[in-house]
Amino acid sequence: MTTLRPPVLFPLFAKVTTLPGIGPRLVKLVERVAGENVVNLLWHIPAGVLDRRFSPKVGDAPPGKIATLVVEVLAHAPPPPRSKVPYRVTCGDDTGKITLVFFRGDGDYLERMLPVGESRVISGKVELFDGRRQMTHPDHMVPLAQIDDVKRVEPVYPLTEGLSPKVLDKAIRAALAKVPELAEWLDPAYLARQKWPSWREALRAVHAPGDEDALLAMHPARARLAFDELLSNQLALGLVRLKARVRRGRSLVGNGILRGKVKAALPYALTGAQSRALEEIFADMASETRMLRLLQGDVGSGKTIVALMAMLAAVEAGSQAALMAPTEILAQQHFETLHPLCTAIGVRVEVLTGRVKGAARNAILEDIAAGAVNILIGTHALFQKEVDFHDLAFAVIDEQHRFGVHQRLELADKGDGTDVLVMTATPIPRTLTLTAYGDMDVSRLDEKPPGRMPVDTRLINLERLDEIVSGIQRAVAKGGKAYWVCPLVEESEVIDLAAAEERYTHLKAVMGAKVALIHGKMKPAEKDAAMESFTSQGGAQVLVATTVIEVGVDVPDATIMVIEHAERFGLAQLHQLRGRIGRGGKSGTCLLLYAAPLTQTAKARLEILRDTEDGFVIAEEDLRLRGGGEVLGTRQSGLPEFKLANLMAHGDLLAAARDDAKLIIARDANLETPRGQALRTLLYLFEQDDAVRTLRSG
């Protein structure tokens, strides 16, 4: 889709290669730390400062401190050939001498940088070695004329291996030089009350911190940029939601017959939380406004049956319903759970994933179009144009954190005023719910079905692998079933897959045919076979899996969960994985294997998991330990990642941004006033192009 990004922003959305000094080699490194566009460098804000203003005489320079010294270059002492001795350069002033030390120093370069007999400004940490002052690899060595470039408070940016601070600093200065003057989008009264600078001034100030205090989250310049980011987030959510709301919904009221039959057939009674959530959902369905509701329930809280009951209400009303899952395995599993229940009451349910092909696919598609299929389950394949519903009135999106806001609306577009229920097992803290969903209605399953058994969670050093393997072997001999999860991250996918395969081979060598392997690179049929074998009686008893088993897979007689390199997982993800066991009335054991040594934070995080099974406590603690940006392994969870705002520190600003966004939408929903026009630019600046697209042109 094209973007109508205003021309004034073009320089900021140019590639970083348009900046001086960023060639093909460096571009990869800059992209890794910041991003591919100039604007990403603006958002790459300092994490610290180095104060280089201290400029004593050499004789007074205290060891251990950063100092900027004005010296005369006295002599070079290159090391003898092939020796490991560093290259030394002696410098000094009238009060004393200091030796500059360069390991593997390039003599030609150093002679050019430090000509004997000339004055130079050097800056770095002063050290004492054998009673003499020295400086190892000075950070700066420049002619006297450039002293002001060095003698200042220098911002310190997060770096990556191979990227020098100087190169990054230069690129950021160049990016700042491209920052245009933009019309103010904040409410003038609010701006004045906060005593914040303009956007442009704020950016400059953030990248030129005068002291440590300038790094504080509530420093005016930082707070201003954080608010801008939060406002763009809240406004975008508000606009997208407005669009969804504006299209009229329809009243769906069933006669309750199908629901009654299912309820009678279930081997259990619904929990109070499930009944409450259903009442809220039925009320939304019955109303004329379109439903957009989030069903939040910890793993194992019983969301599937809630989804089924809601879909049945739509079927009773004579319409179709769809359930969308993030992976084929989950879609298949939902189908297998719901198929017997539905068939027994004469409701036709089908599954449509990428693997249903040819004639079978065409037949299902025809029946969907004719309305003969009542409930359709699938993955994102449901988005495809070929899927043409007869009358889709209700859509459920499971584990939706993998789907973007836009995708959600796309599915809803398949029907006429389709009601949407979004289900998530991610125990999102309140603050994050707001940033991810705006003011969406929320139902919570805050009560677990009875019969859930506690899981004994232990942290174990990976070095004790052999003991663990024999423990699993004993459990398997007694008929137990275990998941064995290996980490898999995209960046090191090949290595990770190899590690998982190696673990599989190893376990198979020890336990024989009782081990199965499943990972994302396998063919659908192979995945099915592995899952099938693990689910059935007499099949595999150990399932080695990369995280593809993910959330949602239900094998009630599995009681053991081993997670390798637990330190590499997000807490929420670990919690979800652990939720796979302790079902079916049997208590479970979860072994979190970690590679030592763990950092303090990593240890504290895993300990939270060991000490509680409450998903919300885990999420809140994770947020506290890690701050907003990385919470819950945000990358996996698809929650918005903020570059400037920190939800721990800027929680109040988030509330203010939400209120402001509401007011804006109430007064100027199409962003047509002068402030509205400026807000459009804000949305583009933070790449909320989708949200601007919901507006009428203007």
Contact set with ligand ADP (CB under 6 A)? 268, 270-271, 274, 297, 299-305, 425, 449-450, 552, 554, 556, 583
Kindly give, in sequence order, each residue whose CB lies less than 8 Å from that of residue 216, ignoring residues fewer than 6 positions away.
222
Nearer to ligand ADP, 147 or 325 (CB): 325
Min dist. Cβ of residue 423 to ligand ADP (A): 7
Stretch in the footprint of Mg ion (CB under 5 A) among 27-35, 500-508, 545-553, 571-579: 545-553
Cα separation, 283 vs 251, in Å, equals: 9
3-state secondary structure of 531: helix
Give the C-alpha separation, 323 to 376, whole Å. Answer: 6
332/355 Cα distance (integer angstroms): 11
Q: Which is nearer to Mg ion, 233 or 576 (CB)?
A: 576
Q: Which does 301 bind (CB under 5 to 8 A by kind): Mg ion, ligand ADP, none?
A: ligand ADP
**Closer of 46 and 588 to ligand ADP (Cβ):** 588
Burial class (CB in 10 A: 0-12, 13-18, 19+), 238: buried
- How far apart are CB 605 and ligand ADP at their closest, in Å? 22
Distance between CA 22 and CA 81 in Å, rounded? 35
Q: Which does residue 687 bind out of ligand ADP, Mg ion, none, counting CB within 5 to 8 angstroms by kind?
A: none
Shortest spacing between CB 356 and Mg ion, in angstroms:
21
415 binds, among Mg ion, ligand ADP, none (CB under 5 to 8 A by kind): none
| Chain residue at closest Cβ approach to Mg ion | 552
The amino acid at 300 = G
DSSP 266: S
Nearer to ligand ADP by Cβ, of 78 and 449: the residue is 449
Between 143 and 340, whose beta carbon lies closer to ligand ADP?
A: 340
Best CA proximity match to 558, nearest among 574, 543, 546: 543
* Piece of 344-352, 474-482, 548-556, 669-677 that binds Mg ion (CB under 5 A): 548-556
Q: What is the token pair recorded at 623?
A: 């947020």
State the minimum distance, in angstroms, from the CB of residue 421 to ligand ADP: 13
Whether residue 78 contacts residue 114, with contact meaning beta carbons closer than 8 Å, is answered with: no
In angstroms, rounded to a whole number, what is the distance separating the alpha carbons of residues 570 and 639?
13
Q: What, of Mg ion, ligand ADP, none, does residue 155 touch, CB below 5 to 8 Å by kind? A: none
Q: Find, among 413, 414, 444, 416, the residue nearest to 429 by Cα.
A: 444
Give, to the nearest 10 degrees, the angle between helix 24-33 and helix 165-177: 80
Q: Which is nearer to ligand ADP, 86 or 615 (CB)?
A: 615
Q: Which does 159 bind (CB under 5 to 8 A by kind): ligand ADP, Mg ion, none?
A: none
Give every CB contact of residue 274 below 8 A, 6+ residues apart in sequence: 302, 305, 306, 445
Q: Of the listed pieces 289-297, 487-495, 530-538, 552-560, which binds Mg ion according to CB under 5 A? A: 552-560
Least Cβ distance, residue 553 to ligand ADP (angstroms): 9
- Nearest distance from residue 326's CB to Mg ion, in Å? 11
Q: Is 552 in the site for Mg ion (CB under 5 A)?
A: yes
Least Cβ distance, residue 447 to ligand ADP (angstroms) = 9
Closest CA to 419 of 296, 317, 293, 246: 293
Number of residues that bind Mg ion (CB under 5 A): 1
CB 267, min distance to ligand ADP, A: 8
Positions touching Mg ion (CB under 5 A) are: 552
